[in-house]
Amino acid sequence: MTNDMDPFLDRKTVRAVTTLSFPTISRMQRRGEFPPFEQISPGRRGLRQSTLTEFLSGRRDWSVMG
């Protein structure tokens, strides 16, 4: 899959789609229960749409990516 077909979603969009607050997402990331945001550019982080879809479909262990 190319990056053009797998866009980055900003944190605000991820929050809206998951209905989770930013503090909840942060806690879940520390516990390995939510995928980590990727660095897009200096000062900007996001999550690929495919990664969010995978999370929403039930993948639970995000402590080891890959």
Count: domains in the chain: 1
More confident of the two residues 35 and 65: 35
26 inside domain: yes
Question: Nearest-CA neighbor of 66 among 54, 20, 6, 41?
Answer: 54
10 inside domain: yes
**Cα–Cα dist 66/18, whole Å:** 22
Question: Nearest-CA neighbor of 39 among 30, 48, 31?
Answer: 48
Give the pLDDT score at 58.
Answer: 85
- Its domain, for residue 19, covers 3-38+45-56
Residue 3 has pLDDT above 70, yes or no: no
66 inside domain: no
65 inside domain: no
63 inside domain: no
> Tens digits of per-residue pLDDT, 6-61?
999 999 999 999 999 999 999 999 999 999 999 999 999 999 999 999 999 987 66
49 inside domain: yes
